[in-house]
Amino acid sequence: MVVGFRRTWSGHSPLNIDGSSMEIVKGTNFLGVHLVENLTRSLNTSSITKKGQQCLCFLRSLKNNHLPPLILTTFYRGTIESILSSCITAWFGNLTDRKAMQRMVRTAEKIIGVPLTSIIDIYTTRCICIATSIVDDPRHPSHKLPSGKRYQSIRALTARLYNSFFPQAIRLLSSQRLDNTHTHTHTHTHTHTH
């Protein structure tokens, strides 16, 4: 598969590796994520939605057998949420049809009868978790920051870059730092005023 970011596509010369000609395909499935040459997420979204809908049938069946909400929630988290959040940091940032994913969460909420974590909250939590592990691991290739002191997102000219993992993770980490600083300042001021 050849991915090009040019506005006009002029074709691609044949690729040979060790004398063998490589076939160019329109899309592929890598680690459960459907990738297509134009980088749209519609095929991946429909695949995830289809798998999730199949599991919703099992969830309804468990509900019809009068299982308690705790067991239904455990089933949801182990199957449906797992399907929805598989490699979520790679594809959710640029997803245009987020409503289809959130609709599945709302349907599961209605079946179970308890509030569930929204898909955007799952994405945010995963981004922060992965970004924090990168910051904490000095052996990770993306560990060192150019400034060495603060997080600064690169200037993005396209929405695709702006919503991709690293710029998104940097914005989330920066906002988390601001929230922690604000909370710490508020607590510090509050303790000294009494």
Structural domains counted in the chain: 2
Is pTM beyond 0.85 here? no
Query: Residue 54 corresponds to which tokens in the numbers above?
Result: 């199949």
Cβ neighbours of 83 (radius 10 Å):
19
Q: What is the structure's pLDDT at 17? A: 78
Q: Are residues 114 and 51 in the same domain?
A: yes
Task: Say how far apart CA 163 and CA 94 lie, in whole Å.
Answer: 6
Which two three-digit tokens encode residue 64? 């019809």
Q: 3 versus 21: which is more confidently predicted?
A: 21
Domain presence at residue 28: no
> Is the predicted pLDDT of residue 155 greater than 70, yes or no?
yes
For residues 83 and 152, membership in a common domain is answered with: no
3-state SS class at 34: strand
Structural domain ending residue among the three candidates 102, 119, 136: 119
Range of the domain at 173: 123-181
